[in-house]
Chain A
Amino acid sequence: MLKVGYKILFYGAVVLLAAIVLMPFLWMLISSLKTQVDIVAWPPKFVFSPTFQNYYKVFGEQDFIRYFINSTVVAAFAVGVSLLLGLPAAYSIARFSQRRLALVILLARLMPGISFLMPWYIIFSRLGLMDTYVALVLSHVLITLPIVVWIMSSYFETIPIELEESAMVDGASRNYIFLRIILPLSGPGIITATTLAFIFSWNNFLFSQVLSMERTRTLPIAVFNFLSYADIDWGGVMAASVAIMAPALVLTMIFQRYVVSGLTMGAVKG
């Protein structure tokens, strides 16, 4: 009897917490299917005739497909560059205890992003890189690289050094060990780092705001297309937000298992 009571309590708490966390998301989803009049209605309407006009506005009237492509290209390249540079860096930091180097990389992340904007703007505009993917990718690397380096360096530390030593005895070089032994063992860590870095880049507002223009506009900036002077199209904002969240959500759902184990693996080293 007592056991049943506990179970009820447990699942009750689960439902309550889930409701609190999911409420804003559900509200957004519901609002994205409402007309402007229904959105502001009081008391809130839970029974209404759903409309897809907001989604039509997002994908038909506004060019969200293009913003989608922009965001994907920028995030993918930023993560790619970060992995290319960050994985060897993280390995080196882990194996040779280059703590100071790790700190410098973190420092870039700790500095307020806005302090980079002016110098970047000057450099990119002089180089004629404004409104190109290059400027955006390079700026987003500042966000993604520290994530990759920090997650991966603590992950590499959990891999027993004996593995490398025995490979060395067999005559393997550092590069060979890194590429053939360490990387294949680091799948969960790399997936964690990639997912997190991708989401951070996907959601970045500040850098894209100044460095992108009409052609390279990314999704978080495009949401503001629905905010006009003294007029907010709530339905459009909600539909756009749903559309932006969806890929990040799917990505997280698929890789969630690895994300959690990857994070804890780095955190608790035996």
Chain B
Amino acid sequence: MRTILKFGLTVALGLSLSGGALAQTKEIRVLLANHPYGDILKAEIPQFEKQSGIKVNVESLQESQLTTKLTTEFATNSSSVDVFMTRPLQDGKLFAKNKWYEPLAGYDFSDYPANTVSIVTYDGKPNIVPLVTEWQVLFYRKDLLAAAGIKVPTNFDELAAAAEKLNTGGVAGFASRGKGAAAVTQLSSYIYNFGGQYLDKGVAVFDSKEAVDGFRYYGKIVGSYGPRGVTSMSWENILPLFQAGRVAMWTDASVFYGQLTDPAKTSLGADKIGIANFPAGPKTNSPFYATSWGIAIASQSKKKDLAKTFLEWATSKELAAKAMGANITMARTSVWEDPAVVAKVDPGLVETRAFVAKNGYPTDRPFMSAVGEARDLIGEIVIESINTKGESPQIGDMAKDRVAKVNTLLRNTGEYGQ
């Protein structure tokens, strides 16, 4: 037995020595997300390696895996990650609170819209370079609207009327995410347009009359005109329904437009797919215009100089212009002002972006560390509202109760009233 154990240990040691190759001096580790921009970076990295002489060990992961991995590595204080892609709204607060981002002194943020920079700034210093933005829009079927003689809805009343008219047996008049926590981001613009908010200066306020009206309206149109089983649907479910021609109108993030007009992914034909500004609410029209992805340097990195060189390259104007050609809606302002670049972008995206750049609201969710828990809590109200078509007498009380719970979450992390 002893010899067997000895043998086992020797093998283990041998494997470990061969596996843990010693790092070269000019080498960095980069974690990217499975994202079209991540794909562009991956393809261009050999070029960067040649120019800079820095070897880049790159790994790309699906977004929730990326968060799990980064959290584990940083929390155990033994990370070897130098640069990583990150979701400012989902991970930002928690990561910044734990000081996992290296503040980016000296990076030139003048080419980024002020509201995208404000969301990545902590203690007066930007922590993340915004990469990609997205905003809420209305996707619609041009052919179905024309057949029914309906104009593209521009406000909530018209939206409800159109949804009712378009809702026929095989085709849902309207769809938007119904699956609790996943719906929170797409509900946000409805609440904003009713004059409500999720949080105001670090205090949960989605029990206000305006916000409750938003919950009710969302429940009414999604519950009455949405596809069957909508309360278990996120974009993964609604997108294929829309692609199969079973939904007439859909409000979600602009990021899906590329797939809807791509003949390899949607057989309806690009000429039948419309994109329009999110409809106005009774109070205002301020749909979310959110920074969905950014890139940052790890504070635990031991090679911050090399990391910075990589970051400057990965966020360069040239790469942003290239990404725009693939309909990736970049955060940099200058690429949207360059006619040569904009010519390559789908006009629907250019027009709707021009609107939100002026009127948009910079977050699409409660912006806090415990965002996951808060989304679950708000999601419960969404489901109740959809199930009762917005009629439930409990929505107001539920909102009060969930506001108290979200405030407790905020207090627990010391963010209350901040």
User: A interface vs B, CB < 8 Å?
Assistant: 35-37, 39-42, 81, 84, 88, 117-118, 121-122, 125-134, 138, 209-210, 213-214, 221, 224-225, 227-232
Contact = CB atoms under 8 A, between A and B. Distances in A.
Contact of B267 (A37, A134, A210, A229): A37
By CB atoms of chain A within 10 A, which of B15, B35, B36 has the most?
A: B15
A229 B255 contact: yes
B72 interface: yes
Q: For chain B, which range describes its interface: under 10, 10 to 19, 20 to 34, or 35 or more residues?
A: 35 or more
A122 B76 contact: yes
Given A132-B20, A134-B15, A209-B65, A36 B244 contact: no
B4 interface: yes
B246 interface: yes
A125 B78 contact: yes
A40 B244 contact: yes
Given A40-B240, A132-B16, A230-B253, A118 B4 contact: no
A37 B264 contact: yes
Contacts of B253: 230
Interface stretch (B55-63, B91-99, B120-128, B337-345): B55-63
Contacts of B8: 81, 84
Contacts of B16: 127-129, 132, 134
A130 B16 CA distance: 9
By CB atoms of chain B within 10 A, which of A117, A122, A125 has the most?
A: A125
Given A36-B264, A37-B267, A41-B244, A118 B72 contact: yes
B80 A125 contact: yes
A134 B19 contact: yes
Interface in B50-97: 57-63, 65, 68-69, 72-73, 75-76, 78-80
Given A118-B72, A125-B79, A128-B16, 4 more contacts: A39-B240, A134-B19, A210-B72, A231-B36
A186 B78 CA distance: 45
B147 interface: no
B415 to A, nearest CB: 24
A128 B69 CA distance: 17
30 contacts: A37-B243, A37-B266, A41-B267, A42-B241, A42-B245, A118-B72, A118-B75, A121-B72, A121-B76, A125-B78, A132-B15, A132-B16, A134-B12, A134-B15, A134-B19, A210-B72, A213-B59, A214-B57, A221-B65, A224-B62, A224-B65, A225-B60, A227-B34, A228-B35, A228-B62, A229-B35, A229-B293, A230-B253, A230-B256, A232-B236
A268 to B, nearest CB: 32
By CB atoms of chain A within 10 A, which of B60, B72, B79, B264 has the most?
A: B72
Contacts of B35: 228-229
Kindly list the 6 A-B residue pairs having the minimum CB-CB distance in the complex, ordered from nearest.
Answer: A132-B19, A128-B20, A42-B244, A40-B240, A224-B62, A125-B78
Please report whether the interface of chain A is mostly helix, strand, loop or mixed according to DSSP: helix
Contact of B72 (A36, A117, A127): A117
B72 A130 contact: no
Interface string B20-34: 100000000000011
Given A42-B244, A224-B65, A230-B235, A118 B15 contact: no
Contacts of A131: 19-20
A134 B20 CA distance: 10
Contacts of B255: 229-230
B293 A209 contact: no
A37 B20 contact: no
Nearest to B13: A134
Given A128-B20, A134-B12, A229-B293, A88 B72 contact: no
B259 A227 contact: no
A132 B19 CA distance: 5
Contacts of A126: 78
A125 B244 CA distance: 47
B372 to A, nearest CB: 15
